Amino acid sequence: MIYLVTGATSGIGKQIAEDLLKSGYEVILNYGNNDKQAKAVEKEFKSKNYNFSIYKADISDEKQVKDMFALVKSNYGRLNGLVNNAGTNIDEFVETCKLDNYMKVVKTNFIGKMLCSKYAIPLLKNQENACIVNIASSLGVRPDTECSAYCCSASAIITLTKCLAMELSDYSIRVNCVSPAFTPTPLSLSGWTKEEIEAKEKRNPRHRLGKLTDMSNAVLFLLSDKADYINGENLKVNGGGILKK
Ligand SMILES: NC(=O)c1ccc[n+]([C@@H]2O[C@H](COP(=O)([O-])OP(=O)(O)OC[C@H]3O[C@@H](n4cnc5c(N)ncnc54)[C@H](OP(=O)(O)O)[C@@H]3O)[C@@H](O)[C@H]2O)c1
């Protein structure tokens, strides 16, 4: 079984890739920009004797996505699963936002996931347990201020998941979504004070923040045949945090 995880050189994506590798699957790790970080992950995973390769492609650029999946096709011929994880954020209020920043978030977080799905479909068609898992966000269900591009993209991914689940049913490809709550990573930690993060922890009904493994456990479950009758769903992994502000 072979899986492609986008944005797999940091945070949640790296954890998903490593947990798939530990389960004995082959994994293609994608990243977009940070070569130094990718080299460090490559070195770490090689030292653990994992069965993987790393492909660089900016998922918001159609040509790069097309070329990446052409390479997957010529090197592997198929995929059993795609994890659309790569994402970014730029905090801005609508009133003062720069359109370039807004578009960067929408093109990476939403359009990029659509593009990767588009080019992965031919490789997933009728493969064993074929599945796409999209990573959205709690903010796609309950939005917040100063990040509308991120929130709207996350809502769009939840809807894209349902559209794709219907469109791909005749190819036997399931499509689901995971919406993580705040989980410490380089992406989420920027812009929050220590006090604000502690308050998030206290407020959550489980009295803690999300862990990388909370998210990857949910993704690996949805990828597995144990989730064979789950399709078009959005699994909120938030400790119940959506229940109170
Ligand atoms: N952490 C949270 O609290 C949280 C909560 C809800 C949802 N999420 C979602 O979870 C996903 C992962 O977030 P994270 O917190 O783990 O982020 P992270 O630690 O910053 O990792 C982001 C990964 O995405 C890659 N990436 C970014 N832009 C890319 C692009 N255009 N093309 C290809 N790869 C790209 C990065 O590599 P390069 O820098 O090399 O491009 C990196 O590997 C995102 O979709 C995010 O929206 C996170």
Give the SS3 label for residue 52: strand
26 lies in some domain: yes
79 lies in some domain: yes
**Which residues span the domain enclosing 14?**
2-237
> Smallest Cα–Cα separation from 170: which of 199, 130, 134, 197?
130
| Sign, CA torsion 100/142/201/236 | negative
State mean pLDDT over 170-186: 97
Quick one: pLDDT band at residue 160, thresholds 50, 70, 90? very high
201 lies in some domain: yes
* 150 included as an active-site residue: yes
Per-residue pLDDT at 191: 84
Which pair of structure tokens corresponds to residue 89?
A: 């954020």
State mean pLDDT over 194-198: 94
Q: Is the CB of 55 under 6 A from ligand 1?
A: no
Residue 173: is its pLDDT beyond 90? yes
- Domains in the chain, number: 1
- Which atom of ligand 1 has the smallest separation from the CA of 59? 32
Query: Around 34, how many Cα atoms within 13 Å sit in the side-chain half-sphere?
Result: 13
- Indicate which residue of 3, 25, 31, 150 is catalytic: 150
Residue 105: is its pLDDT beyond 90? yes
Residue 20 and residue 241: Cα distance in Å, rounded? Answer: 27
Residue nearest to atom 46 of ligand 1 (CA): 87
72 lies in some domain: yes
Q: Is the CB of 31 under 6 A from ligand 1?
A: yes
Residues 6+ apart with CB under 8 A from 170: none
Q: Is the CB of 34 under 6 A from ligand 1?
A: yes
Helix ranges, 108-193 (H): 112-124, 148-167, 186-189
243 lies in some domain: no
Judge if pTM exceeds 0.85: yes
Residues 6+ apart with CB under 8 A from 61: none
State mean pLDDT over 166-188: 97
State mean pLDDT over 96-117: 98
The answer to whether 239 and 210 are in contact (CB under 8 A) is: yes
**Ligand 1 mutation target, pool 5, 6, 10, 60, most atoms within 8 A of CB:** 10
> Smallest Cα–Cα separation from 27: which of 6, 48, 57?
6
Quick one: pLDDT band at residue 177, thresholds 50, 70, 90? very high
pLDDT higher at 97 or 191: 97
DSSP single-letter state for residue 146 = T
137 lies in some domain: yes
Q: What is the pLDDT of residues 19-74, one digit of tens each?
A: 999 999 999 999 999 999 999 999 999 999 999 999 999 999 999 999 999 999 99
245 lies in some domain: no
The answer to whether 80 and 131 are in contact (CB under 8 A) is: yes
Domain with 56 in it: what CATH number?
3.40.50.720
**Ligand 1 mutation target, pool 16, 18, 19, 31, most atoms within 8 A of CB:** 31
Residue 180: is its pLDDT beyond 70? yes
State mean pLDDT over 187-191: 90
Q: Is the CB of 182 under 6 A from ligand 1?
A: yes
30 lies in some domain: yes
